[in-house]
Structure 1
Amino acid sequence: MSFAIASAPVSRRTALRAGGATALLAATDASWLQRLLGLGADGDGPAEVFKGDAPGEATWRRWAQRGWAREAAHYVKLGRNVQCKVCPNNCILAPGDRSHCRNKVNRDGTLYTLAYGNPCTFHVDPVEKKPLFHFHPGARTFSLATAGCVFRCLNCQNWEISQRRPEDTKDARGAELRLRAPLPATLTLDEMSRLSLFPEDLPGVAEALRCPSVSYTYSEPTAYYEYTLASCRAVRAAGRQNILVSCGSIEERPLRELLAFVDAAHIDLKGFDESTYRQLNSGRLAPILRTLKVCHELGVWFEIINLVVPGYTDRLDSIRRMCGWIVAELGPDRPLHFSRFHPQHKLEHLAPTPVDTLLRARDIARDAGLRHVYIGNVPELEGAEATFCPQCRRPVIERTGFAVTRNVLVGGRCPHCQTAVAGVW
């Protein structure tokens, strides 16, 4: 899905930032052009890309034949250059270039995704692992991911796939293997590297595994947007549900298109400070706040997670502002999960988040008016992951790890005082 822009002259500086493109709108409407190309008034421009890193001819032919390469959605043609418009990175690619998320390439003036039908990992998880605590507690969800991510989080726990190219995790050489029901008993690493799982096959796989939903998770579903969208459509058409686990950095147009087929979402709100977002995640805060508001507007059930990273996102004044914003913009019933940081990836030198910091964050959230606040990654902390009735404050769902040990809700209501608890039960 693409659209071209009528040819007209623009300033040399703008043309250079657009990769020397000549197919641009008239420069008389500079504000429109800036929005289109992602050149904000704050000086932000398109993200850095991997110059000349598109796959060679032999690899490309194998991936195209396997069905793993498809024309991308939501992009602009700028002469022979292209600009991806799925996420705020707004990558501009010359022929032969690879996108910031590593999943898209410009081949002869057309943008292609290399992350289609080729998950590098999948599992059956409890829905609590997403984490979603107010969406069908105890249910199983078939979870999958491809390589690639729109962010560069210093603390990423799945960097082995999120910071890799699809070709680093899959191999189109050898015999084709397509995952369908009935499922094989086992898969070898070689088989996994060759395996395809196309959207039309997902409902049957989920059914065979007794999973009422499919989750797009582990890396970043925005980076494999075309595969996510097609899969969500197929899963919804089969009467099953879709769960989006995302950092929330996505442009509004593709977001709205995708959310039409999403039943629940977990959105990472990685902080509440623009400079911290840039330093810790190589992203921006504003698009994530917009994503949260769009989810709320469209009535998609979602929960928010905030990883409390020492020295980055543990400032209590920032947490207080964040909680106030959630209450004002999303309402007091929006679940918020504070998660304990453990040394990962490029932050192995840091210590885990002190439990006292997490308790203080929870107190701040409750004082701000949030009714459902959780603390994750501290299994020994009593009541940290229990759901309490917002009226009588008695526990109505109790959990140990990712397992629901007690659920006394009746039709989504507290059995003691009949108060409705927000969620999808």
Structure 2
Amino acid sequence: MHMERRKFLSKTGKILGLSSTLSALLLQGCDMFPWSEDTDPLKGDGTDTGLDITNDIKDLKEAMFYKSLNENRVKCQVCFRECVIKPSERGFCRNRENKEGKLYNIVYGRPSAVQIDPVEKEPQHHFMPGSYIFCVGTAGCNYRCKYCHNYQLSQQSIDDLRYEKLLPEDLVEQALEQNVAAISFTYNEPTSLYEYMYDTAKLAQEHEIGVMFHSNGSMSTEPLKKLLKYVDSTTIDLKGFEDNFYQDISQAELSPVLDTLKTIVDAGVWLEIVNLMVTDLNDDPEVVKDMCTWIKEELGEDIPLHFTRFTPSYKMTDTSPTPVERLEKAREIAIDCGLRFVTIGNVPGHQYNSTYCPECHQSLIKRDHFSVHEINLEDGKCENCGLDIPGVWSI
């Protein structure tokens, strides 16, 4: 089901039209979904919009990376899976459909989640701290993570979700009106909506709006390099450092993620890495040490690393939350391996929610969960000792 753009914008007008009160609304976590907070996007609100989903070719966007095969089959080339898709069928991510021998992105301009968030929620700790970002997500994902916290979006097809009709120019228009630091593609895997993200990123750059995305890191190298020309910052999930963990938990592979991380660094685009530490599954100290050593040697000591706490979700509700002591131990290992900026997430109020100067050890950015209380940076330098702190401090 979708809601017409005019109706969506009128419903969100209470937020979009009141720039003088926007900051107060955002601090209360006010969202921009065109349905009430107590409505599940999978179920709808009981109102018949009279608008059914249509996947007519004229309403879709042809995929940018695919190869035509015999018998009208196509091979998608946007991610490591390289799905071979028969006519009238979709790939593993559910977002790319073969119609008459051509591959189409069926979620282009059809976000199911639109919200303004603090950049710290991405998480990004070295990108304009304390600013807000315009977050966009659709249906679908090329992973099957058992613990996904956004499974209502990522593990569904667009056919099963409510969505808005918002084209790239609409996203840019709203980002400009809200004076946000960036547009972020997040919530579900942005690789699966590639063309929507790419077109938005190009347009956003023309208007000097930042662009970022939060990804599982499985995009193929060619589309990634093409996209990175228009991207200011990335957050990549390095879910673990063992192939069997990736296969068992996500039905995925580790090596494409490592390739993605190196490609981003080589392109000179800002990168932050998230490791969601799952109790007894990816928290072995020796594996953590191997991961941190690889990051230091292959990517560099200045890549921020976020160790975040697992909480039960989706198909792993019987797994205990990560003991905080294991997160603290992981941070200690990372520092010992030579990484300079390591934080702990999903533990509100923890000392290492904050970023510290690796030289003088004074607080650079004091945080409590997603809230920034103090920034001790001057032109990208530590105010106390003058050390250059890498990051994106302005657009």
- What do residues 125-147 of structure 1 show as CA deviations (whole Å, max 9, x unaligned)? 01000000001001110001110
- What do residues 55-100 of structure 1 show as CA deviations (whole Å, max 9, x unaligned)? xxx978x333773x22111001111110100001111111121110
**Structure 2 residue corresponding to 1:321, chosen from 287, 290, 297:** 290
State the distance in 2 between where 1:275 and 1:65 align: 40
The corresponding residue for 2:153 is: 161
What is the SS of the residue equivalent to 2:352?
coil
What one-letter code is carried by the residue in structure 1 that aligns with 2:290? R
**Structure 2 residue corresponding to 1:142, chosen from 126, 134, 140:** 134
The corresponding residue for 1:287 is: 256
Q: Percent identity of the aligned residues?
A: 41
**Structure 2 residue corresponding to 1:296, chosen from 262, 265, 278:** 265
**Structure 2 residue corresponding to 1:78, chosen from 56, 62, 69:** 69
State the distance in 2 between where 1:59 and 1:96 align: 19
The corresponding residue for 2:361 is: 393
The corresponding residue for 2:348 is: 379
- Check whether the contact 1:388–1:396 (CA below 8 A) recurs between aligned residues: yes
State the distance in 2 between where 1:337 and 1:384 align: 10
- What do residues 13-48 of structure 1 show as CA deviations (whole Å, max 9, x unaligned)? xxxxxxxxxxxxxxxxxxxxxxxxxxxxxxxxxxxx
TM-score norm. by structure 1 comes to: 0.79
**Structure 1 residue corresponding to 2:173, chosen from 197, 204, 218:** 204
The corresponding residue for 1:251 is: 220
- What do residues 325-347 of structure 1 show as CA deviations (whole Å, max 9, x unaligned)? 00001111110000000001011
- Check whether the contact 1:390–1:421 (CA below 8 A) recurs between aligned residues: no
The corresponding residue for 1:100 is: 92
RMSD: 1.4
- What do residues 334-389 of structure 1 show as CA deviations (whole Å, max 9, x unaligned)? 100000000010110100001111111011000000111000011132x2111111
State the distance in 1 between where 2:367 and 2:292 align: 24
CA gap 1:417/1:342 in 2 versus in 1, 3 angstroms: same
The corresponding residue for 1:406 is: 374
What one-letter code is carried by the residue in structure 1 that aligns with 2:382? C
- Check whether the contact 1:280–1:312 (CA below 8 A) recurs between aligned residues: no
What one-letter code is carried by the residue in structure 1 that aligns with 2:186? T
Measure how far apart 1:201 and its partner are. 2.0
**Structure 1 residue corresponding to 2:121, chosen from 123, 129, 132:** 129
State the distance in 2 between where 1:370 and 1:259 align: 24
Which aligned pairs between 1:27-106 and structure 2 lie closer than 5 A? 62-64=54-56, 67=59, 69-79=60-70, 80-106=72-98
What one-letter code is carried by the residue in structure 2 that aligns with 1:266? T
TM-score norm. by structure 2 comes to: 0.85
- Where does structure 2 lack aligned partners over 5 or more consecutive residues? 1-50
- Check whether the contact 1:202–1:234 (CA below 8 A) recurs between aligned residues: no
Measure how far apart 1:262 and its partner are. 0.5
- Check whether the contact 1:271–1:277 (CA below 8 A) recurs between aligned residues: yes
The corresponding residue for 1:306 is: 275
State the distance in 2 between where 1:113 and 1:416 align: 50
- Check whether the contact 1:64–1:70 (CA below 8 A) recurs between aligned residues: no
What one-letter code is carried by the residue in structure 1 that aligns with 2:223? P
What one-letter code is carried by the residue in structure 1 that aligns with 2:108? Y
- Check whether the contact 2:349–2:369 (CA below 8 A) recurs between aligned residues: no
What one-letter code is carried by the residue in structure 2 that aligns with 1:94? K
What one-letter code is carried by the residue in structure 2 that aligns with 1:347? M
What is the SS of the residue equivalent to 2:241?
coil
- Where does structure 1 lack aligned partners over 5 or more consecutive residues? 1-57, 171-192
